[in-house]
Amino acid sequence: MTTVEAIVIGAGPCGLSAAIELKKNNIDYLVIEKGNVVDAIYNYPTHQTFFSSSEKLSIGDFPFITEAHKPKRNQALVYYREVVKHYDLNIHTYEEVTSGRKEDDSFVLETSKDTYKCKYLIVATGYYGQPNLLDIPGEKKDKVFHYFKEAHPYFNQNVLVIGGKNSSVDAAIELEKAGAGVTVVYRQDAYSKSVKPWVLPQFDSLVKNEQITMHFNTEVKDIKDKYVVLEKDGKTFEVPNDFVFAMIGYHPDYRFLQSFGIELNTNAFGVAPKHDKETMESNVDNLYIAGVIAAGNDANTIFIENGRFHGIQIVKDIVKKR
């Protein structure tokens, strides 16, 4: 068993920010990450552009400078790699935490490679690793994806995109550009207000010119090998299909949080882990949450640009306790 004073689970921007603060305060720490650093950003679409400016994505005292006001995915990957090198952060990548428990005044973590014990635990696992599911027949077929990377493989294929927010709209536009036959279904009766205002006119133009088929008030009922079954206004119909992108959002790993005794609060958007907004400490002593995971289902309230400060709040509380 390896013992350290503090462990951060997750090497996204918010987890890295917490690690920087721990190191600045001479607290023995370790970051454990199941993929590589900022793995969620790596899984963004290849040509993704951030909503936020580079300045608001920076962490520690390390500047993020780009020519354009809003950086692209690849620029962010380079930046966060440089942050890790600059601060020489102690990170175990490609090591997944499989279980954890509270044991007296410590936490014990089992991973794919080792067992760890720590006094302070910071969970910064985000929500991108757990896609929301449709709970319909055929959802587990190999043709169904919950992440969109790039459009080229779908040239001359019939593709269904499920959802009406930014991720689905962006995917549909890229797929149409690459020569896919694109159908989009959304269970609401109009475009989501969260869609980027500079993107919506382009998407709407493709719909009006019948380059993308758009179905509002529509739900997917079944996914077959060669077609999908849709329901609209009480009527079902079939659409030829080769691939499906279910871009319907993601959620935190609630079972993992609850395994430590973290309580979940219900709000207007669903559930969120109980925590002190000043210190980010959960209802479990010495267990903190950082980043978007604190928002629960409402991922639109916490982004990198505000979640990056959670590490400062957390480590300030740890230093006070020490």
Considering 203, 219, 246, which residue would you say is the last residue of a domain?
246
Judge whether residue 255 has pLDDT over 80. yes
Q: Which residues pair with 153 in a beta bridge?
A: none
Of 266, 271, 307, the C-alpha closest to 288 is 307
CA–CA dist 54, 39 (Å, integer)? 18
| Overall number of domains in the chain | 2
- Round to whole Å and give the CA distance between 299 and 132: 13
Mark whether 149 and 282 lie in a shared domain: no
Does residue 54 lie in a domain region? yes
The answer to whether 194 touches 163, Cβ cutoff 8 Å, is: no
Determine contact, residues 181/175, Cβ cutoff 8 Å. no
The answer to whether position 137 is within a domain reads no
Task: Based on the fold, state whether residues 121 and 263 are members of the same structural domain.
Answer: yes
Is 138 inside a domain boundary? no
Q: Are residues 160 and 269 in the same domain?
A: no
Q: Do 15 and 117 fall into the same domain?
A: yes
* Same domain as 126, residue 255: yes
pLDDT value of position 298: 53
Say yes or no: 20 and 118 in one domain: yes
Tell me the per-residue pLDDT of 80-94, one tens digit each, with 9 for 90 and over: 999 999 999 999 999
Q: Answer yes or no: do 38 and 152 share one domain.
A: no
Whether residue 3 is predicted with pLDDT greater than 70 in this model: the reply is yes
Residue 103's H or E segment, with its range, is strand 97-103
Please report whether residue 234 resides in a domain: yes
Would residue 90 be called left, alpha or beta, if left means φ above 0 and alpha means ψ between -120 and 50 degrees?
beta
Domain endpoint, select from 246, 276, 294: 246
Each residue of 172-181: pLDDT tens digit?
999 999 999 9
Q: Which helix (H) or strand (E) holds 99?
A: strand 97-103
**What band does 248 get if pLDDT is binned at 50, 70 and 90?**
very high
- Average pLDDT of every residue of the chain: 92
Q: Is the pLDDT of residue 301 over 60?
A: no
How much is the CA Rg of the chain, to the nearest whole Å?
A: 21
pLDDT, one tens digit per residue, over 264-280 is: 887 665 678 899 999 99
**pLDDT confidence tier of residue 10, bands split at 50, 70 and 90:** very high
CATH of the domain at 16: 3.50.50.60
Whether 115 and 65 map to the same domain: the answer is yes
Domain closes at, from 216, 246, 276: 246
Task: Say if 88 falls within a structural domain.
Answer: yes
CA distance 223 to 318: 50
Q: Is residue 124 part of a domain?
A: yes
Going from the C-alpha of 81 to that of each of 12, 28, 123, the distances in angstroms are 11, 21, 21
The pLDDT of residue 302 is: 52
For residues 166 and 196, is the Cβ–Cβ distance under 8 A?
Answer: yes
Convert 130-139 to b/e letters by CB count within 10 Å (16 or more is b). Answer: bbeebeeebe
Residues 241 and 279 in one domain: no
User: Dihedral sign, CA of 146, 147, 153, 159?
Assistant: positive
CB 65 within 8 A of CB 77: no
Q: The tokens of 80 are what? A: 């966060």
- Specify whether 212 is located in the same domain as 262: no
Segment 21-69, tens digit of pLDDT: 999 999 999 999 999 999 999 988 888 888 788 988 999 999 999 988 8
Is 162 inside any structural domain?
A: yes
Backbone φ/ψ region at 193: left (φ over 0), alpha (ψ -120 to 50), beta: alpha
174 and 304 part of one domain: no
What is the distance between the alpha carbons of residues 184 and 162, in angstroms, rounded to a whole number? Answer: 6
Q: Are residues 66 and 115 in the same domain?
A: yes
| Number of H-type helices and E-type strands within the chain | 9, 19
Cα dist from 154 to 113, 116, 166, 180, 249, whole Å:
37, 44, 20, 6, 22
Domain housing 189: 144-246
Q: Which residue is associated with the tokens 């720590």?
A: 118
Burial bucket for residue 309 (CB in 10 Å: 0-12, 13-18, 19+): middle
pLDDT of residue 296: 61
Residue 36 within any structural domain of the chain? yes
